[in-house]
Amino acid sequence: MTFSKNNVLHNNHFHKDWQRRVRTWFNQAGRKHRRRQDRQTKAARLGIRPLQLLRPAIRPSTIRYNMKIREGRGFTHAELKEAGVNYREARGIGICVDRRRRNLSEEGKNLNVARLKDYKARLIVFPKNAKKPKKNESTGDDLKAETTRAPLPLPPAVEHEAPRKITDEERAFKAARTLRIEHSKAKYAGKLAIRRQKKEEEEANKRK
Spatial neighbors of 18 by CB under 8 A, at least 6 apart, are none
Say what the pTM is.
0.63
* CA–CA dist 203, 208 (Å, integer): 9
Q: Which residue has the higher pLDDT, 52 or 174?
A: 174
d(CA 157, CA 38): 34
User: Facing residues of 58 across strands?
Assistant: 70
Rounded Cα distance between 69 and 33, Å, is 32
Contact 119, 154 (CB under 8 A): no
Instruction: Examine the pLDDT at 177 and tell me if it is beyond 70.
Output: yes
* Cβ density class 57-87: b for 16+ within 10 Å, e for less: bbbeeeeeeeeebeebebbbeebbebbebeb
Backbone angles phi, psi at 95, to 5 degrees: -115, 130
Q: How confident is the model at residue 10 (pLDDT cuts 50, 70, 90)?
A: confident
**Mean pLDDT within 110-124:** 91
pLDDT value at residue 3:
67
